[in-house]
Amino acid sequence: MRLPSIMFCIFLLLFVNASHAQQCGSQAGGAVCAAGNCCSQYGYCGNTAEYCSPSSGCQSQCWSSGAGAPPPPATPTAPSAGGGDISGVISQSVFNDMLKYRDDTRCHAPGFYTYDAFIAAAKSFGDFGTTGDSDTIKREIAAFLGQTSHETGGWDTAPDGRYAWGYCFLRENTLDSYCNVTQAWSCAPGQKYFGRGPIQISYNYNYGPAGQALGYDLISNPDLVATDSTVSFKTALWFWMTPQGAKPSCHDVMTGKWTPS
């Protein structure tokens, strides 16, 4: 489930839009960052050493020189009501613009991938779309929508190109069993574990842990991922937020909690 760079760039440009313009300091007419955040030497707001340390060129609201430890981080500027509520970060109109063909009758899931289901599912993952500064928050949501659009996107000859058709598909076309009998999670009789939902979750060894974490028996009823919109988004967010084996989670990578060694 690798994110092509073009998908990430398209969604980041659509969503973040002007957020990459300098926000503070000499690059922005002497503006000061909101919520006590520091202004980096490059004119961006944040609360980590690269923004706040005088040795890194911090321009305003910097950490004191020689301080033994940085002050507590500033209050996050992103909405946090309800924990994991990202409706104040991404509006329904922006969501619709990003995924403008998802309800097209040429797609396999018109009416399934709704904004309300996405927002409701995100509330089950309090750190998704709420971690870091404003740019980091937007980058993570854009990356998630870009990745899931790649997984469910259109075809090469589609109007506006395949990358404009995110969330067009609901189930994998092949409908193979995807049962790995060597794994700890047994397969239920008659059930198949082909790709379903925004992340196209596949194999019994993903359906089992996802269902366990979310409180659903997805081994016995994997098609719940293709019949309940909120559950479908929850499985995608579970995969996004959960480290897989020796690999870090997508969330940790996109928010900078993990960096290559």
**Is 151 an active-site residue?**
yes
From the list 50, 140, 151, 172, the catalytic residue is 151
With a CB cutoff of 8 Å and minimum separation 6, the contacts of 197 are 170, 225, 226, 232, 233, 235, 236
**CA–CA distance, 241 with 230 (Å, rounded to integer):** 16
The terminus-to-terminus CA distance of the chain in angstroms comes to 22
Non-local (6+) Cβ contacts of 202 within 8 A are 172, 178, 193, 194, 195
Q: Is 245 exposed, middle or buried (0-12, 13-18, 19+ CB in 10 A)?
A: exposed
Handedness of CA 166, 167, 168, 173 (dihedral sign): positive
β-strand partners of 25: 31
Active site residues: 151
